[in-house]
Amino acid sequence: MTIKDRISEKFSALFSGHGAIYMSAGRINLIGEHTDYNGGFVFPGAIDKGIWVEMKPNGGKSARVYSLDYGEYAEFGMDEKDKPSSSWARYVFGVCREIIKRGYDVCGFDAVFSGDVPLGAGLSSSAALESAFGFGLNDMFSLGIPGFELALIGQATEHNYCGVNCGIMDQFASIFGKAGNLMRLDCMTLEYEYYPFAPEGYRLVLLDSVVKHELVGSPYNRRRESCERVAEKLGRKFLRGASMSDLEAVRADISEEDYKRARYVIGEEKRVMTVCDALQKGDYETVGRMMYETHRGMRDDYEVSCEELDFLNNLALDCGVTGSRIMGGGFGGCTINLVREGVYHDFIDKATVSFASRYGHAPKVYDVVISDGARRIG
């Protein structure tokens, strides 16, 4: 039974009848990690894994929502005082509240949702959830909210209801994803450009360490604060556009930790632009080298890797994988790997056996295809 079928079956059992079905994608980011909140560039794409939701108006003033994956039900009103206690329901509530804050009306509705984007793997399941509900509510109630605003609504939900000071990349990719294309997004201006991505002879594969990260609290926020301190010292709003010589000029006035965080971000901005040029030339070997450099920077300067992810990255290098790095905020999750067809099976076999031997469980393997973002599917 497909996810769509399971959702429809549960929806009918809980609420009778059927509603409209919406889907929004998780995302990969080929290059450009922790650059979004620094005003830089990122290079994401939507994938063929995400969140599905069936919903319909219920004629009342409350939302009644069931999560198939958690096996939990939540019911809440639309006022600030009605915030639900369960963390997954706060994402849905937050989307409703952020839409209402912008002057739109959200009436009561019933919904059931589920997904196949792995939780805690760096594929932005939260943005997929926010975008699926945001897109669905916009369509169902004919609100007329532009796509950019839907992405900002998802981001504001993270900030105001979930305690994560995220950038805009995840929600943007979930809304604007296009099959067979990656997007270079300027996180300062929100200008974007599609880049065709269908490399012949290569696969994109994610290896999930099954180490779960929790960003609330938060080592993520502390790194953002480091970048903000250095940007202020440089007389900038963001680190975007700063050079290594700029950073060296203020090194004596900042902590060593803040210096390392900024060094990573400045280098990552340059790597994104190098990858753009390489893709235009079909030069996937250069793309791969930049991915390995990003991993080293996230490991040594941004310090968001972990032993399991470093193990997978080193194994990829030993197996001749073209490119490999941590993907997502870090502290667990996946590596993203650009793998030539000729080494794919050897790499997966060795990664599965070696990782299981060392850590007691095999990594989960996800081949991903670049797909469309938020849309109505039924």
The radius of gyration of the chain's CA atoms, rounded to the nearest angstrom, is 21
**Contact at 8 Å (CB) between 32 and 143?**
no
**Contact at 8 Å (CB) between 46 and 180?**
no
What is 340-374 written as a DSSP string? EHHHHHHHHHHHHHHHHHHHSSPPEEEE--B---S
Cα torsion angle, 274, 276, 282, 284, sign: positive
> For residue 221, what are the CA distances in angstroms to 227, 257, 261, 368?
10, 14, 12, 29
Residues belonging to the active site: 170
Name beta bridge partners: 201.
Answer: none
- Prior bond to 255 cis, omega within 30? no
> What are 357's two structure tokens?
């031997």
